[in-house]
C-alpha cells in the first residue's frame, strides 16, 4: 500500500482555496510576460523606458518585493495569505499599459480573466483578490479597507520607502542633470516622502519594517552630508 501525496494528515485544516506554489509560480511568469509585452509594442522613449520606474524589469521586481512584504504582513496580521499574495502579484500587471488613475481597475480585470480561465478558483476568492487589486490605489484611511487590501497597500508603500526609493531618486538626478553635490538634498526628499508614506501604515509589522528602512535612509543622508560636503571643502582649499 502506498500513500498518495494528496493524503492530508488528520487534524490539518484544509482551506477552501489553496493556491499551490506551482500555480503561484505560473502567475508570476504570466505577470512578467504581460509587463514585457506591454512595453514591446511602444516606440522607444515613449515613456522614458530607460528610467526604472517605467521599465518592465523594474516593475516586475517591485511586484516580487511587494509579494514578499505583503505575505509577511498578512501572516503577522492573520489575513488570508493566498488572497493577499495573489492580489500582490497582479496589483501592477496593467501599470505599463494603462493610465495611472485606472491601472488598478485594469489590473483587476486581467486578474479576473486569468483566475476564471483556470476554472479552479471559487468566485468568492476571485472577488476578494480583485477587490484588493482595485483597492491598492486607494489613498485614504487604511482602517476603512478590508484587511487583505490593507496588507497589500502597506507592502506597496513600503517598497518605496528605503533602498528602492533612494536609488530611484539618485537615478532621477542624472536625468535632471544634477551632480553628486545634490545627493544629500535629494535623499532628504526621499526621507520626507518615506515619513509621509509611513504615517498611513497601521499594522505593527509594517510599522517596524518602515522604521528600520527610514533609519537606513537617515544614515545614508548623514553619510552623504558628511563626506560629500567635506570633499567640497577639500576642493575649495586645493584651489587656493
Ligand atoms: Fe505597486
CA of 90 to the centre of ligand 1 (A): 9
**Cell 510576460 sits on residue:** 33
Residue 130 sits in the same domain as residue 221: no
For the segment 47-104, what is each residue's pLDDT rounded down to a tens digit?
A: 555 666 678 898 999 999 999 999 999 999 999 999 999 999 999 999 998 888 899 9
Largest interatomic CA distance in the chain:
90
Which CATH number belongs to the domain containing residue 38 in this structure? 1.10.3210.10
Structural domain containing residue 35 = 21-152
Residue 240: pLDDT band with limits 50, 70, 90: very low
For the segment 65-76, what is each residue's pLDDT rounded down to a tens digit?
A: 999 999 999 999
The CA distance from 105 to 18, in Å, is 25
Q: Between the CA of residue 120 and those of 9, 109, 178, 238, what are the distances in Å?
A: 23, 17, 52, 71
Residue 32 sits in the same domain as residue 123: yes
Alpha helix (H) ranges present in the chain? 21-40, 56-77, 81-90, 103-118, 123-135, 147-158, 163-175, 183-200, 204-239
Residue 182 sits in the same domain as residue 76: no
CA of 129 to the centre of ligand 1 (A): 15
0.95 cut: is pTM over it?
no
Residue ending a domain, among 152, 177, 192, is: 152
CA of 130 to the centre of ligand 1 (A): 15
Buried b (16+ CB within 10 A) or exposed e, 129-152: bbbbbbbbbeeeebeebebbbbbb
Dihedrals phi, psi of 7, to nearest 5 degrees: -65, 125
The CA distance from 159 to 68, in Å, is 10
CA of 156 to the centre of ligand 1 (A): 5
CA of 57 to the centre of ligand 1 (A): 13
What is residue 162's three-state secondary structure? coil
CA of 176 to the centre of ligand 1 (A): 24
Residue 199 sits in the same domain as residue 227: yes
CA of 37 to the centre of ligand 1 (A): 18
CA of 13 to the centre of ligand 1 (A): 32
CA of 184 to the centre of ligand 1 (A): 26
CA of 103 to the centre of ligand 1 (A): 10
Residue 147 sits in the same domain as residue 169: no
CA of 92 to the centre of ligand 1 (A): 5
* Average pLDDT value for residue range 18-24: 93
CA of 91 to the centre of ligand 1 (A): 6
CA of 25 to the centre of ligand 1 (A): 19
**Domain count for the chain:** 2
On whether residue 11 sits in a domain, the answer given is no
On whether residue 15 sits in a domain, the answer given is no
For residue 239, give the C-alpha cell.
Answer: 584651489
Residue 111 sits in the same domain as residue 174: no
User: Of the candidates 219, 194, 189, which has an alpha carbon nearest to the alpha carbon of residue 209?
Assistant: 194
Residue 74 sits in the same domain as residue 178: no
CA of 225 to the centre of ligand 1 (A): 31
**Cell 484588493 sits on residue:** 132
Report the phi/psi class of residue 140: left, alpha or beta, with left for phi > 0 and alpha for psi in -120 to 50: beta
- What does the pLDDT read at residue 44? 52
Sequence-distant contacts of 37-44: CB under 8 A, at least 24 apart:
38/94, 38/96, 38/97, 39/96
The CA distance from 62 to 89, in Å, is 10
For the segment 193-205, what is each residue's pLDDT rounded down to a tens digit?
A: 889 888 999 999 9
CA of 123 to the centre of ligand 1 (A): 24
CA of 126 to the centre of ligand 1 (A): 19
Residue ending a domain, among 152, 172, 195, is: 152
- What does the pLDDT read at residue 48? 56
CA of 111 to the centre of ligand 1 (A): 15
CA of 140 to the centre of ligand 1 (A): 16
Amino acid at each position: 500500500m502506498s500513500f498518495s501525496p494528496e493524503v492530508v494528515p488528520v487534524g490539518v485544516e484544509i482551506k477552501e482555496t489553496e493556491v499551490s506554489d506551482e500555480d503561484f509560480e505560473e502567475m508570476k511568469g504570466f505577470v512578467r510576460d504581460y509587463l514585457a509585452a506591454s512595453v514591446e509594442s511602444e516606440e522607444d522613449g515613449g515613456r522614458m523606458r530607460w528610467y526604472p520606474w517605467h521599465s518592465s524589469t523594474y516593475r516586475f521586481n517591485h511586484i516580487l518585493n511587494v509579494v514578499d512584504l505583503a505575505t509577511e504582513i498578512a501572516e503577522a496580521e492573520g489575513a488570508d495569505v493566498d488572497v493577499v499574495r495573489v492580489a500582490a502579484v497582479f496589483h501592477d500587471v496593467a501599470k505599463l499599459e494603462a493610465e495611472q488613475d485606472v491601472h488598478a481597475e485594469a489590473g483587476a480585470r486581467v486578474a479576473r480573466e486569468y483566475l476564471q480561465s483556470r476554472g479552479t478558483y471559487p468566485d468568492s476568492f476571485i472577488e476578494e483578490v480583485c477587490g484588493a487589486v482595485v483597492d491598492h490605489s486607494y489613498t485614504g484611511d487604511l482602517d476603512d479597507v478590508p484587511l487583505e487590501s490593507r496588507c497589500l497597500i502597506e507592502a506597496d508603500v513600503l517598497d518605496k520607502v528605503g533602498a528602492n526609493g533612494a536609488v530611484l531618486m539618485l537615478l532621477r538626478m542624472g536625468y535632471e542633470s544634477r551632480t553628486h553635490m545634490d545627493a544629500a538634498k535629494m535623499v532628504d526628499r526621499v526621507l520626507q516622502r518615506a515619513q509621509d508614506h509611513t504615517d498611513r501604515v497601521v499594522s505593527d509589522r509594517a510599522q517596524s519594517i518602515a522604521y528600520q528602512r527610514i533609519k537606513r535612509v537617515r544614515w545614508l543622508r548623514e553619510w552623504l552630508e558628511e563626506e560629500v560636503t567635506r570633499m567640497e571643502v577639500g576642493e575649495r582649499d586645493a584651489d587656493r
